[in-house]
Structure 1
Amino acid sequence: MTDDTSSLTGLLASAERTLRLEQQAIGALVARLDGDFERACELILACRGRVVVTGMGKSGHIGSKIAATLASTGTPSFFVHPGEASHGDLGMITPGDVVLALSNSGETAEVTALLPLLKRLGTPLISMTGRPGSTLARHAEAHLDAGVEREACPLDLAPTSSTTAALALGDALAVALLESRGFTAEDFALSHPGGSLGKRLLLKVSDLMHQGARLPQVALGSPLRDALLEITRQGLGFTCVIDPEGRLAGVYTDGDLRRTLDQFSDLSSLTVDQVMTTPGKRTSPDTLAAEAVRLMEDNRITALAVVDDDGRPVGALHMHDLLASGVI
């Protein structure tokens, strides 16, 4: 075995050991979920203000992520650096808030220095530490035990397993609150309007469809030639076929044209209703764009007629519109 191979084997072994230790650290949290976790949830659900998360060093980085996760899942939250809090930022915390303080040791000076001030404000404190008997844990209304047997670091010094456990416990808290609030995918999208997820959950067919003069349509009984000209003119790969009452009778697509050429040698005498697809796939303006994508994919089509409650065409939607919008 070459030195390079030995080195690579050692690297993989180290990575596997780290992941297993952190996996064990997260698994051990389950047995420690107790009434304090429920109490923490109750304090946050009853909170009239926001959840203020604080922590120093690596715990601070984890706390910042927990605050962001809470805020994006229906629990107003922000992060305050404990050092800055003692020098003016404490004014950001109000009696109506709840403070979630992270410290693996539970003795971090910058964090414990806030305890008298929080008591004076009457702001409820939830602690997340690795030591249930620590100063921070003892002074909290609810304590979340994120302790680990050992760090993944071979020196048992660098925060690794402990920060992973704290992050996972923060996620558990956020999800429990999310479910308790009945937070929906639409609520989540409102917090993420600029992302692809927000677009999938917020955009409707009416936001993307072609309408008015851009709606391809011909009357029932029209010569096939007229339907082909309309498809070419609008460039959407299909046209709606409208009955005398203005309702969608069917559609004629590029795919239908290929089938027509296979079946008929002379197209000059054909009318569109002889070769159109009935009733034709359709959707409504209020359908989520993501649902329209699924309908197209399930039926292997690239365009849809958009109809109102009476079955009258009001628009046309093409896969290209969905691609351009970022829905897919």
Structure 2
Amino acid sequence: MNKIINDVQLDTQLLTYAKETLAIEIAEAQRMLYHLDDNLIVACKIVLNCTGKVVVMGMGKSGHIGKKIAASLASTGTPSFFIHPTEALHGDLGMISNQDVVIFISYSGFNCEFDILMPLLNENSIPVIAFTGNITSSLAKSATCVLNINIEREACPMELSPTSSTVNTLMMGDALTMAVMRQRGFSIEQFARSHPGGALGSQLLNRVRHVMRVGDQTAKVTFQVTVMDAMFELSRTGLGLTAICDNLSHVLGVFTDGDLRRWLVKGKSLNDSILKAMTKPGYQLLESLRVRNAIDIFYKYKITAAPVVNVDGLLVGAISMHDLRKVNIG
């Protein structure tokens, strides 16, 4: 019995600790809105006017966050990479040119590596954007632009482990990245080209024509057939849908498993014309439609399959939700 009580107390205590951590981080994150000022505008313009790359640098936890910021910039239209400050002092500084911009992250603003690097960056007229919680630090005084990530307290009860400060650093990086991305007019197509291997990239790059069923895998009949003929064609492919076409292959409507069930429940004859039982015009997808948009249409109209047509309305294939979901959907 005591073990059960102790387990309950432990569970409650752990949940309390977690909630307290998030509450502190959320409160500090909300204060970030008041840190956004003209310095952010200056930082954005520096990045937008950069003809080279944005080089992000930081030590320890700041370095880990810096890698994420560099990755976010690079994936949203701003060429960027991360360099560890120590590695920069041992050769990697040669990776930075005078066309580049440096983002240096240091919450305290005091860093011996920075003290060595800053004169070299200044000598080459390389702008430095400082992310720091200490706007009176040597870093802040030497930087071209300062973005304030100051916090009142860390979520760590010992005030030792970077928690609130790393959240604020990440948020400031996201604010800078998104502002620059939107100003550039970064498009869905550009995003897809920089994410070709991901699920979202696959959905954006691939079009319906790349994954649709063609030839004998496409169920279709002409408008002259009976409901029975359409039923046999419906069963042949297992798609759950057959397209009803005119003699030139223009899609006039669709006949689905649901249409068949409703027809039979009403006691209608299988020898009747398919024109009486089909759904007209039904949902059709253009072959040029992106997979992502096709998925959205399927969800919106609660359908599981559709005929695929070209710009002239001619049947060129068919596709199901299963076909769409095979395109590297995470």
TM range (shorter): over 0.9
Query: Would you say the 8 A contact 1:290–1:327 is kept in 2?
Result: no
Correspondence for 2:246: 243
Query: Would you say the 8 A contact 2:203–2:327 is kept in 1?
Result: no
Distance 2:281 2:256 in 1: 13
| 1:313-328 matched pairs, under 5 angstroms | 313-327=315-329
Q: Which amino acid aligns with 1:124?
A: P
Distance 1:163 1:279 in 2: 55
| 1:166-205 matched pairs, under 5 angstroms | 166-205=169-208
Counting aligned pairs with the same residue, the percent is 45
Query: Would you say the 8 A contact 2:199–2:327 is kept in 1?
Result: no
Question: CA offset at residue 53 of structure 1?
Answer: 0.2
Residues 318 and 12 from structure 1, CA distance in 2 versus in 1: closer, same or farther, beyond 3 angstroms?
A: closer
Question: CA offset at residue 324 of structure 1?
Answer: 2.0
Q: Which amino acid aligns with 1:238?
A: L
Correspondence for 1:284: 286
- 1:31 is paired with a residue whose SS is helix
Q: Which amino acid aligns with 2:83?
A: V
Question: Structure 1 residue 234 and structure 2 residue 237: aligned?
Answer: yes
Distance 1:221 1:27 in 2: 67
Q: Which amino acid aligns with 1:118?
A: L
Distance 1:181 1:123 in 2: 22
Query: Unmatched 5+ residue regions in structure 1?
Result: none
Distance 2:236 2:13 in 1: 65
Q: Mean alpha-carbon deviation: is it higher for 253-262 or for 78-87? A: 253-262
Query: Would you say the 8 A contact 1:55–1:111 is kept in 2?
Result: no
Correspondence for 1:306: 308
Q: Mean alpha-carbon deviation: is it higher for 81-90 or for 61-70? A: 61-70
Question: CA offset at residue 202 of structure 1?
Answer: 2.4
| 1:211-226 matched pairs, under 5 angstroms | 211-226=214-229
Question: Structure 1 residue 119 and structure 2 residue 122: aligned?
Answer: yes
| 1:92-103 matched pairs, under 5 angstroms | 92-103=95-106
TM-score normalized by the length of structure 2: 0.92
What whole-Å deviation, never above 9, does each CA across 1:251-298 have from its counterpart, x for those lacking one?
Answer: 22222221222234642x323223222112212111222322233333
Distance 2:19 2:266 in 1: 63
Q: Mean alpha-carbon deviation: is it higher for 132-141 or for 23-32? A: 23-32
Q: Mean alpha-carbon deviation: is it higher for 298-307 or for 5-14? A: 5-14
Question: Structure 1 residue 77 and structure 2 residue 80: aligned?
Answer: yes
Distance 1:171 1:210 in 2: 41
Residues 34 and 266 from structure 1, CA distance in 2 versus in 1: closer, same or farther, beyond 3 angstroms?
A: closer
Q: Which amino acid aligns with 2:19?
A: E
Within the candidate set 273, 277, 282, 1:271 is matched to 273
Distance 2:136 2:301 in 1: 61
Q: Which amino acid aligns with 1:304?
A: A
How much is the aligned-residue C-alpha RMSD, in angstroms? 1.9
Question: CA offset at residue 172 of structure 1?
Answer: 0.9
Residues 47 and 249 from structure 1, CA distance in 2 versus in 1: closer, same or farther, beyond 3 angstroms?
A: same
What whole-Å deviation, never above 9, does each CA across 1:199-239 have from its counterpart, x for those lacking one?
Answer: 23222211111123432221221233332232233332222
Residues 274 and 142 from structure 1, CA distance in 2 versus in 1: closer, same or farther, beyond 3 angstroms?
A: same
Residues 284 and 96 from structure 1, CA distance in 2 versus in 1: closer, same or farther, beyond 3 angstroms?
A: same
TM-score normalized by the length of structure 1: 0.93
